[in-house]
Amino acid sequence: MDVIIHQTQSIAGHVRVPADKAISHRAALLCALSEGQTELTAWPSGDDCQRTLSLVERLGVVVDRLPGGIRIHGVGLTGLRAPQGELDCGESGTTIRLAAGLLAGQPFVSRLTAAPSLCRRPMRRITEPLTQMGACIESHGSPSPRAQDAELYPPLQITGCRPLHPLRYRMPIASAQVKSAVLLAGLFAEGPVSVAESQPTRDHTERLLRLLGRSVQSHDGDVRLEPSQEALRSPGRLVIPGDPSSAAFLLVAAAVLPGSSLTIQDVGLNPTRIHFLSVLQRMGADITMTVDPTTLQGGAGDDQWEPRGTIRVAASALRGTTVEAHEVPRLIDELPILMVAACAASGTTVFRGASELRIKETDRLHSMTTGLRQMGAQMAASGDAAVTITGAPLRGAAVESFGDHRTAMSLAIAGLLASGQTRIRGAECVGKSFPNFFEVLASLAGPSRVGIF
């Protein structure tokens, strides 16, 4: 699918974005392990979360599809059963990494497969701690699965173990997916499991575990799950907030297009997910956040487990900034669209320590650098670690998505800024996280500004 974007003067409106993808993955897995039924309202339609839902069904969990959501019939901590055949994770890195943690504690063998793009992404970062806990994991995608100095790639064959060993693991690279995989495995450990992270990462897994009755302590970068023989208790109903990473594309558009004003309603405002707003504010963006006070009370029930609310942004003149390496773990999904914001800012913006972008769905450093340069951006990449962008007018061009949803959406926003016409090839990849992105964009910018072919 190709999409044509024409320059526009401004965008305006009130919108909602798809339900938070990161929360949805974790909620599906943990509610499958709980006792009782859980209704998840506003379940996202993107492909990634459907992969996780299919995976839990293949493990013997009944899932009802409802208008606007799903109902998961939890089977308890000991109720999963061995799958018949492979578990296909598609292109979802979150699915394969979190599922590996879950399956490490099961008394059966399972095999996680993936699409070609995901089979190029490294897995040693999760196999290492899970192996230390007692699981046996073989990489059938590595040229030499047993080479000690080789990276490991999907497919992964996991021979689970129960109980797993206690573990204190210091992550060499800050990663919420690795942390979550270890904590999920920790539900089946005979002692405490803790993860030390050098930089804070998103804490949705910890919040959900507490909601379901587990003791999880966080102190000075150390996240500790205490052992328990108690069942996970179903919360009954969860309303998943809108995804702030999806909102970021629309927010940047409103921040950089003169005269724009945009309100995103019912969006997640978890502090570990909205650092990109702080970066935009120090660039001069006019952003206001209003947190729903009922989501700050703590405790179980409906919306009291994740802060949510409204984000409003009005156009303003942006200026360059420096994004340091220690900020990157809190910005990993928003770096591509922040690069577009940098193109619209006066002065120079530097992104340091962005090498993790090279191992996403595609090499996002390459895809964003290629696309923005074709549109006239003044940017330079230094090895794997740094990108420098000096604000300059953009011009329309024919660009590639490289099969990456965040690249496609970022270049679409750049197209609204650019003179002339921008054609984005392979734009169907937005279905991974924001299936109706271009329809929403057309409703804000005007139908003549966005054409789908």
Pairwise CA distance, residues 54 & 77, whole Å: 18
Q: What pLDDT does 201 receive? A: 94
Cis? peptide before 258, omega within 30° of 0: no
Q: Scan for tokens 């992964």, then name that residue.
A: 156
Query: Do 171 and 269 belong to one domain?
Result: no
Pairwise CA distance, residues 286 & 281, whole Å: 7
Domain boundary among 223, 238, 253: 238
Query: Do 320 and 411 belong to one domain?
Result: yes
Query: Do 219 and 280 belong to one domain?
Result: no
Q: Across 154-285, where does the E strand assignment appear?
A: 156-159, 167-170, 193-196, 216-219, 222-225, 237-239, 261-268
Domain boundary among 220, 238, 256: 238
Per-residue pLDDT tens over the stretch 413-434: 999 999 999 999 999 999 999 9
Is 291's pLDDT higher than 80?
yes
Query: Do 285 and 205 belong to one domain?
Result: no
Per-residue pLDDT tens over the stretch 59-104: 999 999 999 899 999 999 999 999 999 999 999 999 999 999 999 9
Work out the average pLDDT over 248-259: 97
Query: Do 202 and 126 belong to one domain?
Result: yes
Count of domains forming the chain? 2
Is 163's pLDDT higher than 70?
yes
Query: Do 118 and 265 belong to one domain?
Result: no
- Backbone φ and ψ for 423, nearest 5 degrees, come out as -110, 125
Work out the average pLDDT over 188-214: 96
Query: Do 198 and 309 belong to one domain?
Result: no
> Which residue segment(s) compose the domain that 321 sits in?
3-19+242-452
Is 351's pLDDT higher than 90?
yes
Work out the average pLDDT over 179-202: 96
Among residues 172, 192, 80, the alpha carbon closest in space to that of 126 is found at: 172
Pairwise CA distance, residues 367 & 406, whole Å: 10
Query: Do 232 and 256 belong to one domain?
Result: no
Is 26's pLDDT higher than 70?
yes
Residues near 231 by Cβ (< 8 Å), separated by ≥ 6?
A: 34, 35, 76, 77, 213
Q: Across 230-330, where does the E strand assignment appear?
A: 237-239, 261-268, 286-291, 308-314, 322-323
Q: How confident is the model at residue 146 (pLDDT cuts 50, 70, 90)?
A: very low
Q: Which two tokens stand for residue 42?
A: 């506003």
Query: Do 341 and 193 belong to one domain?
Result: no
Q: For the chain, what is the mean pLDDT?
A: 93
Q: What percent of the chain has pLDDT over 90?
A: 85
Domain boundary among 210, 238, 266: 238
Range in 1-10, 291-300, 359-368 with the lowest mean pLDDT: 291-300
Among residues 422, 452, 417, the alpha carbon closest in space to that of 437 is found at: 452
Q: Which two tokens stand for residue 411?
A: 């270049």
Work out the average pLDDT over 312-335: 95
- Backbone φ and ψ for 405, nearest 5 degrees, come out as -65, -40
Is 301's pLDDT higher than 80?
no
Work out the average pLDDT over 20-43: 97
Pairwise CA distance, residues 261 & 15, whole Å: 11
Is 298's pLDDT higher than 50?
no
Query: Do 311 and 444 belong to one domain?
Result: yes
Is 453's pLDDT higher than 90?
no
Is 212's pLDDT higher than 80?
yes
Work out the average pLDDT over 266-274: 96
Pairwise CA distance, residues 436 & 118, whole Å: 23
Catalytic residues: 333
Query: Do 14 and 86 belong to one domain?
Result: no
CATH number of 132's domain: 3.65.10.10
| Global confidence as pTM | 0.93
Q: How confident is the model at residue 43 (pLDDT cuts 50, 70, 90)?
A: very high
Q: What pLDDT does 302 receive? A: 44
Query: Do 332 and 271 belong to one domain?
Result: yes
Q: What percent of the chain has pLDDT over 70?
A: 95
